[in-house]
Every structure is written in structure tokens, then in C-alpha cells.
Amino acid sequence: MSVEIEARLLERLLVGDQQAFRELVTTYQGAMRAVAHAILGSRQADEAVQDAWLAVVRSLPGFQGRSSLKTWLLTITANAAKTRYKQNRREVLLDDLPSPHGTIGAERFSGDGHWLLAPSSWHEDTPEALLSQEELRECLEKTLIGLPNLQSSVLLLRERQGLELEEICNLLEISLSNVRVLLHRARLKVFATLEHFEDTGQC
Amino acid sequence: MLSCKELVARSSDYLDGQLTFAGYLQARQHLLFCKNCRRFIKQMRLAQATIKAMPEPVVDDTDELVQRMTEAHRNRNRP
């Protein structure tokens, strides 16, 4: 969102314009959910996002524009999620879960580190062509849902929301090296799903 | 020279610009000679772009949220 559009939206938000609230929700709900999901998991994430929206309305007059609207909203969301999350400290941060189509693991390489089973060429080479296949879309969604909370959130915040790695560290209060590990694991699982689909034509 | 396995292990850092300059050069050198890993990186980029292009799940409770936000805004001006 450009600075001018953001400024105009802010004016309307400050007077309580309902349509402006609607625009804000539809634009940023996805990113906010990803942040809450990372901190709380799926069960309480939606509630934290609701808390966050109400906090946003209360805090709007104090918004100084020192950060982008998006960064401000995500910070409020992270705080709301952390408030909800007190007793049940996150399960061990780097716990991993198996993914439906696995990952690119050691079994793909020989002892000297060469590919044993090299990636083969794919039939499609654009996201649009890949996603036009409904079965693949559903298959990818399944893989994303199967990722541990932090992995899926970090992946979505990076790839879909375009956040810098440092922003993700700050929001989720995890180290840069952990963000890198989580992101890499998630990407390899997505890769394995695409590869499996391209090889076999099914999920 | 990096092995393919090492290149794959560093592929996310390569894509995110997280490698040191020396690490980046090593990766570039490997890619120059390795067709398999070039394909792997190309497919990783495609995987990234695909996640980005996936439709966002629709917000199913927009109306309710907007309603609550409007109320919160109205009440804010009350003592």
C-alpha cells in the first residue's frame, strides 16, 4: 500500500468509516493470522486476531506513521497473541513434523554429496500454470496445513507477505538462525510436494 | 568446491541473500558447473512464487469484525 493511499485510509479510519475498517480487515487479516498462528497455534489464533483488531481501533489516534501500517498492525497482533499466550510456552521451537511428501533429505544424495536422484524437469514453469491444476492446489494446501505452526507462519510471512527475515525475528521473538532453519524446512517440504505431483500427476 | 548436498542445504540462505560473500561465490561457482543444482534452484524459486500466488484464504468473519470495530470506535469517545 502506497504512502498516500495509506494516509487517506488512515483519515477514514480515524472517523470510524465502516468501509475503511472493512478494507483494513480484508487487506491485513491474512498476515495478522500468520503472526498469531506462529505464536499461539491454530486454536487461539483467531481470537488473538480479534483482540488485535479491537486494540487497533483503540490505538489508531496514537499511530504516528513511524513504521508502515502493516508493520504496526503486525506488532499489535504479536503483542495480542503474546498476551493470550502465557502459561503454555511454545512447544520446543524447532520440533519438526513429517510432511505428506517428505522433504529433500540425505537419502537423495550419495556419500560424497552428489545427487543420487536429481530433480527432474517439471511440466509447468509458472505459478499460474501450476495453480491452475485444482488437485495440486489442494495438495499444496494440505502440505501447508501439515507444517508445524512456526514453519507455516514463517513461510507465509516471508513468501506471501514479503517480510524481511529480521522483521520476522522481531515479531515472533525468535533468532535469525531459527527463522532460517524454519524457512528452509518449510520450503523443502513444499518443493517435495511439487516434485511429487510433477512426477506422478497426483497428490 | 561445495557438494550438491551442501548447495541444497544452503539454498534458502542463497535465495534470501543470507550467505557471506565468500559463501555466495562458492554457491555461484557450484551452480556454474552443476546442471542438477541449477534446476533445483530454479524449481525452488518456482515453489516460492507458487506459494506467493496461492489465493489467500477468505476472511469469513469480516462483517462481524467490522461491526465490533465500529462499536469499539464509538465507545472510545465515551468516558
Greater model confidence, A66 or A73: A73
Q: Closest chain B residue to A132 measured between Cα atoms?
A: B54
**Per residue in B2-48, pLDDT tens?**
999 999 999 999 999 999 999 999 999 999 999 999 999 999 999 99
What residues in A contact B75, CB-CB < 8 Å?
none
Q: Closest chain A residue to B76 measured between Cα atoms?
A: A58
Query: How high is the pLDDT of residue A87?
Result: 45
For chain B, helix, strand, coil in percent to 5 are: 75, 0, 25
Query: By residue range, what is the domain housing residue B68?
Result: 4-76
Q: Give CA separation, A115 vs A33, A112, A121, A123, in Å.
A: 38, 9, 15, 21
Contact B4 A127 (CB under 8 A): no
What residues in A contact B6, CB-CB < 8 Å?
113
Contact A54 B5 (CB under 8 A): no
Contact A58 B76 (CB under 8 A): yes
Compute and round to an integer the Cα radius of gyration of chain B: 23
- Structurally, chain B folds into a number of domains equal to 1
Mean pLDDT confidence for A76-90 = 78
C-alpha cell at A76: 499489535
Q: How confident is the model at residue A88 (pLDDT cuts 50, 70, 90)?
A: low
Mean pLDDT confidence for B54-67 = 85
> Strand, helix or coil at A119?
coil
Calpha distance A19→A76 (Å, rounded): 21
Is the pLDDT at A86 greater than 80? The verdict is no
Nearest Cα neighbor of A35 from A183, A169, A140 is A169
Question: Across-strand partners of A109?
Answer: A115
Helices (H), A85-164: 127-131, 134-146, 149-155
**Per residue in A47-57, pLDDT tens?**
899 999 999 99
Q: How confident is the model at residue A155 (pLDDT cuts 50, 70, 90)?
A: very high
Q: Closest chain A residue to B16 measured between Cα atoms?
A: A165
Q: Give me the phi and psi of A109, to 5 degrees please.
A: -125, 150
Is the pLDDT at A92 greater than 90? The verdict is no
Mean pLDDT confidence for A69-79 = 95
Calpha distance B10→B6 (Å, rounded): 6
Is the pLDDT at B79 greater than 60? The verdict is no
Is the pLDDT at B60 greater than 90? The verdict is no
Is the pLDDT at A127 greater than 50? The verdict is yes
> Strand, helix or coil at A109?
strand
Domains along chain A with CATH numbers: 3-84 (1.10.1740.10), 106-200 (1.10.10.10)
The residue of A120, A128, A160, A163 whose CB has the most chain B CBs within 10 angstroms, and thus the best one to mutate to test that interface, is A160
B10/chain A closest Cα distance in angstroms = 9
pLDDT > 90: percent of chain A: 77
Distance of CA A156 to the CA centre of its chain: 2
**Per residue in A8-59, pLDDT tens?**
999 999 999 999 999 999 999 999 999 999 888 877 899 899 999 999 999 9
B30/chain A closest Cα distance in angstroms = 12
Calpha distance B9→B72 (Å, rounded): 49
Q: Mean pLDDT over all residues of chain A?
A: 91
Greater model confidence, A155 or B1: A155
Calpha distance B8→B10 (Å, rounded): 5
Query: How high is the pLDDT of residue A123?
Result: 93
**Per residue in A159-203, pLDDT tens?**
999 999 999 999 998 999 999 999 999 999 999 999 999 999 999
What residues in A contact B17, CB-CB < 8 Å?
none
Helix axes A18-40, A3-14, angle to 10 degrees: 100
Contact A25 B47 (CB under 8 A): no
Contact A160 B56 (CB under 8 A): yes
Contact B51 A160 (CB under 8 A): yes
